[in-house]
Amino acid sequence: MKVLLLGSGGREHAMARALERAGHDIVWAPGNGAQGAWRRRPIDLKNLDLVVQLAVDEQPELTLIGPEDPLAAGLVDRLQQVGLKTWGPNAHQAQLESSKAWAKEFMARHGLPTAPFQVTTDLEQAKAAIATLQEVVVKADGLAAGKGVVVASNPEQALEAAAQLGPKLVIEKRLCGPEASLILLLRPDGYQAFPLVRDHKRLLTGDRGPNTGGMGAYYPIQETPALQDLLDRLWIALQQEGLNYFGALFLGLILTSDGPQLLEFNCRLGDPESEVLLESLQGDLVQVLYGQPLQLAPGCHIDVVLASAGYPASSSPGQIITGHENLNQVTLIHAGSERLPDGTLVTAGGRVLHLVASGSNLQQAQQLAHAAANQIRFDGRSPLWRSDIGGSLS
Ligand code: GLY
């Protein structure tokens, strides 16, 4: 099948690889420094007119949209208007991700398990909400590329976050428990779920430092039987509101002593979760999206992210990447990388590469990923990476 894939991150490279394994004819726009059996089309995804023109020119049988911004901006609506089949929600449905307040109100309307919250639109309201809810998480209402959430340690910090992230906020009660990511592949007539994955959002080993887009992920983690009840109720709620679109729905969960609670939705595949899941996907991704049962390779799987100096505040573009050839039993997934005209691979973003490895246990997978991480250099220096993805090796 001819497929147009939109995006430039690790998630999209993992999608491109899965499509490539199934022999699809792939046009990837804009892509990144990864090389494979696809045609790259340089394009700015912010310019929807150009994206629609590209799709009209290419006439793909299916367009897969990786990142959230074009979804929130209505790309699916635009492509559907010109008669093209898309995988992803329209702008109305994408509010599940593009407005935290809209998403929480949807959860509340349907009695889905989530933390008590208030939506506030100015600092006075935020102050009152913080005083009522006490220990809180402050969330910017709109898309913020992973930088819109502050888990406050005290009311002063919460108020500071409110001033920074406002004016429109969701202020919710802080819950305790391990977090987990669950990705659903939705179709209008049903869905299937990947296994739970654990993402690591903080920059540094030991869960220290600022939040990032995700420094690594692994699975399996312990499944929780109570999840099925949540999914049954969610599926009914999605159908009732016409949100059972053809695309991915990511559930950010916290596994509390009262059962799993919803933290957030994303309307796309998670990143770095999809790197680790799609690398172990068996079968044809397109068929799976259309409902063929999911099959994943057995074993334990991890993804260790290599980031450039200064991340997440800044990135250090143009650094020469070395040591990435001949990695032993590790798959290199490209994110913020690019090729110079002579083929040299350089950094082009904060999160640059993902190292995906598998083993019969997590330790084996970690050892492979760590050996590769120790081999790779950006301008001769070690990249930033966490050595505790999947737990600390003793
Ligand atoms: N890992 C969470 C996300 O994709 O935003």
How many Å apart are CA 347 and CA 315, to the nearest integer?
A: 9
Distance 247 CA to ligand 1 centre (A): 15
Write down the pTM of the prediction.
Answer: 0.97
* Pocket perturbation via mutation, ligand 1, pick of 96, 179, 201, 266 by most ligand atoms within 8 A of CB: 266
Cα 30 versus chain centre, distance: 18
pLDDT at 110 over 70: yes
**Nearest atom (ligand 1) to Cα of 268:** 4
Ligand 1: residue whose CA is nearest its atom 3: 270
- Percent of the chain scoring above 90 in pLDDT: 95
Which one of 149, 271, 389 would you pick to mutate in the ligand 1 pocket, going by the greatest count of ligand atoms within 8 A of its CB? 271
Q: What is the pLDDT of residues 262-282, one digit of tens each?
A: 999 999 999 999 999 999 999
Task: Give residue 284's pLDDT.
Answer: 98
Strand bridging mode 117-120 / 169-173: antiparallel
Report the pLDDT value the prediction gives residue 306, as an integer from 0 to 100: 98
- In this structure, the residue with its CA closest to atom 2 of ligand 1 is 270
Per-residue pLDDT band for 391 (boundaries 50, 70, 90) equals confident
For the record, the structure tokens of 352 come out as 């640059």
Residue 393, pLDDT score = 63
Span 284-328, pLDDT tens digits: 999 999 999 999 999 999 999 999 999 999 999 999 999 999 999
pLDDT of amino acid 217: 98
Atom of ligand 1 nearest to the CA of 201: 1
- 270 in contact with ligand 1, CB cutoff 6 A: yes
The rounded distance, in Å, linking the Cα atoms of 89 and 76 is: 7
How many C-beta atoms lie closer than 10 Å to residue 394's C-beta? 4
| 211 — pLDDT class (breaks 50, 70, 90) | confident
Task: Calculate how far, in angstroms, residue 57's C-alpha sits from the geometric centre of ligand 1.
Answer: 31
Q: Which residues contact 21 (CB under 8 A, 6 or more apart)?
A: none
342: how many CB neighbours lie within 10 A of its CB? 5
CA angle 357, 277, 257 (to 5 degrees): 105
In the reported structure, the alpha carbon of residue 214 is separated from the centroid of ligand 1 by a whole-number distance in angstroms of 7
- Burial of 325 (C-beta count, 10 Å sphere; 0-12/13-18/19+): exposed
266 CB under 6 A from ligand 1?
yes
For the segment 331-354, the average pLDDT, to the nearest whole number, is: 97
pLDDT mean across residues, the chain:
96
Taking the C-alpha atoms of residue 318 and residue 322, their distance in angstroms, rounded to an integer, is 12
Q: Cα of 250 to ligand 1 centre, how many Å?
A: 8
Q: How far is the CA of 200 from the centre of ligand 1 (A)?
A: 10
Pairing of strands 351-359, 202-204: unpaired
Rounded Cα–Cα distance for residues 37 and 353 (Å): 19
214 ligand 1 Cβ < 6 A: yes
Ligand 1 center to 343 CA (angstroms): 30
* Weakest mean pLDDT among 40-54, 144-158, 329-343, 358-372: 144-158
The H-assigned helical ranges of the chain are 10-21, 48-58, 68-72, 75-81, 95-98, 100-109, 123-133, 155-165, 227-240, 273-278, 285-289, 362-375
Q: Work out the average pLDDT over 208-224.
A: 93
Q: Which atom of ligand 1 is nearest to the CA of 273?
A: 1
pLDDT of residue 392: 76
What does the pLDDT look like over 54-71, one tens digit per residue?
A: 999 999 999 999 999 999
- Indicate if ligand 1 lies below 6 Å from the C-beta of 303: no
Distance 125 CA to ligand 1 centre (A): 29
pLDDT tens per residue, range 220-233:
999 888 999 999 99
Go through the domains of the chain in sequence order and give each one's CATH number: 2-93 (3.40.50.20), 116-173 (3.30.1490.20), 179-289 (3.30.470.20), 300-378 (3.90.600.10)
Which residue's alpha carbon is nearest to atom 4 within ligand 1? 270
How crowded is the C-beta side of 30, counted as CA atoms within 13 Å? Answer: 14
Ligand 1 atom at minimum distance from 146 CA = 5
Q: What φ, ψ does residue 53 adopt, rounded to 5°? A: -60, -45
Which pLDDT score is estimated for 319?
98
Q: Provide the pLDDT for residue 115.
A: 98
Q: Pick from 12, 100, 149, 181 the residue to mutate for probing ligand 1's pocket: most ligand atoms within 8 Å of its CB.
A: 181
